[in-house]
Amino acid sequence: MDYFTVICSIIIYVENRLKTDISYKELEKETGFSIAHIRDIFVKKTEKPLSRYILERKILNAAFEISHTKETLLNIAEKYNFKNPDTFTRAFKRITGLTPSEFRKNKITVGRIKLCAGVYGVGFTSNEIQKMRGNENNE
């Protein structure tokens, strides 16, 4: 079976719900597969656990808002359903290598990347990744 369509359905589902709790029951209905099978397919095809993908997408979208708005970090964290600012900061640093404050201070740019056929989302260019890695090496 070609799982390309299933992966795209999962990606679209996640992208449309980044500011809410992701319902695995709803995702099962959307794809017609059990959550165990969805997770298995996703990790086999993307080499990334679904939970990690969801976290990365939330953080990258939050990063976009950090770099393109003056909204407070607390409001951005709450918008992406992080219940605790410390949890948001730890997750943000784990994904980007920087805290949200460092990210804003360093003026990292977040652009658009292709997620799957016809679906685009926020992401980092290779130049921005190098910029962030350079900051890690200077600490």
Range of the domain at 120: 4-138
CATH of the domain at 68: 1.10.10.60
Q: Which residues contact 57 (CB under 8 A, 6 or more apart)?
A: 14, 15, 18, 121
* Per-residue model confidence (pLDDT) at position 117: 84
Alpha-carbon torsion (16, 20, 26, 31), positive or negative: positive
Per-residue pLDDT at 128 exceeds 80: no
Q: Has this prediction a pTM greater than 0.85?
A: yes
Average pLDDT value over all residues in the chain: 89
104, two tokens: 């804003």
52, two tokens: 């990690």
Domains: count for the chain: 1
In this prediction, what percent of the chain has a pLDDT beyond 90?
Answer: 71
For residue 1, name the pLDDT band (cuts at 50, 70, 90). Answer: low
Q: Which residues contact 80 (CB under 8 A, 6 or more apart)?
A: 18, 19, 58, 59, 61, 62, 88
Measure the CA–CA gap between 93 and 132, rounded to whole angstroms: 11
Q: Which residues contact 29 (CB under 8 A, 6 or more apart)?
A: none
